Amino acid sequence: SACLVGSEMCIRDRLATNHHVIKKGGTIEAITEQGATFRVTRVLAEDPEADLAILQLDARNLSFLQMGDSAAIAPGKRVAVYGSPVGLAGTLSEGIISAIRREPAERLPNNGELLQTTAPVSPGSSGSPLLDADGNVLGIITLSSGGRAQNINFAVPVQALRSLKVRAGTPGLSARETHTDLSTPEGKDDAIADTRF
């Protein structure tokens, strides 16, 4: 299960987002659309190749979304993205799954296994959930084609998050403390300026 916190998703008191959002370390804060702030205490699991990370939040009893089944998705399925493009919290956009990419790609996350969507995203949408019509999470927005291409955006399938979630719950998994504050203008600029998005 997952919950919306800003443009990321959290698994009860855990937050799922992109690895490229948190890779510089530091103090990280999650800010809800209503302005509530939760401190991220540590990185529980990270997978740079899939561009995913699970973070421990200093919070309890948050609302959550169910994770869907990204393995059963076909092109043409209607989807929505809920996040904070260019810092505009609570933004909802919609589109369709335009393709399922399952090709070896050394420059793409998750070994090129991505959901391609026409749902509009912008810098700052990284970590946003890709939702089906029932509100189930199908993927985590990771990158956009940018440039002259329009509405060619990608999400890591939620199945990759399920695998990382299992690792995050494993006793003895190495975790790291966080010290980058994304609530500051400098932290936001770093996240938005990431060349992968």
Report residue 96 as tokens.
């369709």
What tokens does 48 get? 């740079």
Q: Which residue in 82, 112, 84, 85 sits closest to 100, CA to CA?
A: 112
Q: Which residues are tagged catalytic?
A: 20, 51, 126
Residue 175 in contact with residue 54, Cβ under 8 Å?
A: no
The token pair at 83 is 């996040």
Residues 6+ apart with CB under 8 A from 138: 68, 69, 70, 73, 79, 97, 115, 130, 131, 132, 155, 157, 158
8 A C-beta contact, residue 73 and residue 131: no
